[in-house]
Amino acid sequence: MTTFPGSPKSLKGAIVAIDVTTNKIVNTIAFQYNPETITRTLNSQISGGEKGAKSEILRFKGAPTETLKLDVELDATDQLETGDKIASELGIYPQLSALEILIYPSTRQVFTNMLLAGIGTIEIIPMEAPMTLLIWGEKRVLPVQLNDFSITEEAYDVNLNPIRAKVSLSLQVLNSSNLPGNKGAKLFQAHHKAKERMANQGRTSNINTMTGVDSNRFFKSSLFFVPHI
């Protein structure tokens, strides 16, 4: 990807997998090219206000659910031009495999469960997945779950190794409700607090001047004031 001379160096986004038992990083996938767009969808978690429950007070059940969708491009062209050995032998297979392995249990876990099943163990504990983080600058370090992704392989070398591909990722942000007691919950809480601080900076200081409406008139004898239309 071409950059203009003298342009500031851009940070790289990344996906990081951490072993929840040892707290060690087991996989780091830095984006070769940062996605140009990220689509964020938030769904509120509020109870009350349903049909037939007019007197019910609106209450938060928790933080909203948030889904992120982004496209990651992988391209071995530059590496092939410089004679990179791995790219010449494997193309972008290693990068694709690093992404795919995020939703695979380890072969060690699978083998252990096969042994337990073979000796007649009645209850087999589900295999624990690593904690996955999306790092998008210092203000967004989010625990996420990789829901699904699609891979479009666009070009191959003479040995049919993929050398260019686009990966479409769908990530669910895991919040304190999803991760009770988990270290990832602390990361989300830090993200939540940072969002509150930024929201304070983005609030309008004088709504009366901005809208031309006297906000003090909205409340009268503890009842909402309904403006004339």
pLDDT in tens, 136-185: 998 899 999 999 889 999 999 999 999 999 999 999 999 988 886 777 88
Q: Note whether 213 and 225 are within 8 A (CB).
A: no
Which residue blocks in 32-105 are alpha helix, DSSP H? 77-81, 85-90, 93-100
* pLDDT at residue 226 tops 60: no
Other C-beta atoms closer than 10 Å to the C-beta of 1 total 8
Which helix (H) or strand (E) segment holds residue 47: the answer is strand 46-47
Give the mean model confidence (pLDDT) for residues 92-103: 93
State the pLDDT at residue 128: 76
Give the mean model confidence (pLDDT) for residues 124-129: 72
Mean of all residue pLDDT scores within the chain: 84
Q: Helices (H) and strands (E) in the chain — how many of each?
A: 6, 11
Domain residue spans of the chain: 14-198
User: Per-residue confidence at 129, pLDDT binned at 50, 70, 90?
Assistant: confident
State the pLDDT at residue 158: 95
Report DSSP letters for 146-213, one per residue. Answer: EEEEEEEEEEE-TT--EEEEEEEEEEEEP-TTTSTTSHHHHHHHHHHHHHHHHHHHHS-S-HHHHHS-
CA distance 107 to 113: 10
State the pLDDT at residue 176: 85
pLDDT in tens, 50-75: 555 555 678 888 899 999 999 999 99
* pLDDT at residue 31 tops 80: yes
User: Per-residue confidence at 221, pLDDT binned at 50, 70, 90?
Assistant: very low
Buried b (16+ CB within 10 A) or exposed e, 17-43: bbeeeeeeeeeebebbebbeebeeeee
